[in-house]
Amino acid sequence: MSAASDNGLDDEPAYRWPIPPPEGWTADDLDRIPGLPPHTELIDGSLVFMSPQTRFHSRTMRLLDNALLEQAPDHLDVDREMTVKLDSKNRPEPDIVVFPANAVTGPNQTWYKPEDIILALEVVSADSRERDREVKPGKYAAAGVPHFWRVEQDDEKGLPVVYVYELDPATKSYGLTGIFHDRLKVSVPFDIEIDLTAINRRRATS
């Protein structure tokens, strides 16, 4: 008897991967395809699946999400892992987005419009380096998202390093405005100050 039979896996129905139409998937299909893994993205009409999350990724998202929520002005809000419908063939899922509170349409909302995104933030993983460094920033910029942060792990300290970009509206491309180690402090899109060394801190200290 095989190991699969021993642990009962043979009793599980085989998963049938969705077969794309000839012209590729569309942004609206992402809400209709049954059985997709959580956090599936659509890039250029192709489905992109997420690998298991690392502790660095999870802790970095928690730190930045909590800090942005605490410091954002009342008219702005913050969400984690919500897709943005850039166009009919692209619906990426930034790790964190900042948007006007009036962009919320209800509890069953699954995506935002690009014109509602103030800041898109990506925490780079081993399997997402090319997408997070090149593909997705280019698409966010082309769609007019004014601010983009890319977060990488410092291999020596294990701490987040934040690369901050601002959109040049004339060229629809991002320009690097700062690289932040240990502490991030910026004045746009609002006043933000984050202790990046607090990634593993469980609660605020006085």
User: 163-192: per-residue pLDDT in tens?
Assistant: 999 999 999 999 999 999 999 999 999 999
Confidence band, pLDDT 50/70/90 cuts, at residue 206 = very low
pLDDT tens digit sequence for 42-87 = 999 998 887 788 999 999 999 999 999 999 999 999 999 999 999 9
Does residue 8 have a pLDDT over 70? no
Does residue 109 have a pLDDT over 80? yes
pTM of the entire predicted model:
0.85
Write down the pLDDT at residue 14: 64
DSSP letter at 96 equals E
Does residue 162 have a pLDDT over 90? yes
Residue 9: burial class (beta carbons within 10 Å; 0-12, 13-18, 19+): exposed
- Determine the Cα–Cα distance for residues 146 and 150; give it in Å rounded to an integer: 14
Cα dihedral value 84, 117, 197, 162, nearest 10: 90
Does residue 20 have a pLDDT over 90? no
| Angle CA 179–186–56, to nearest 5 | 55
Write down the pLDDT at residue 2: 47
DSSP letter at 78 equals E
* Residue 206 to residues 53, 80, 139, 154, 198, Cα–Cα distance (Å): 31, 27, 41, 26, 13
What's the half-sphere exposure (Cβ side, CA atoms, 13 Å) at 93?
Answer: 15
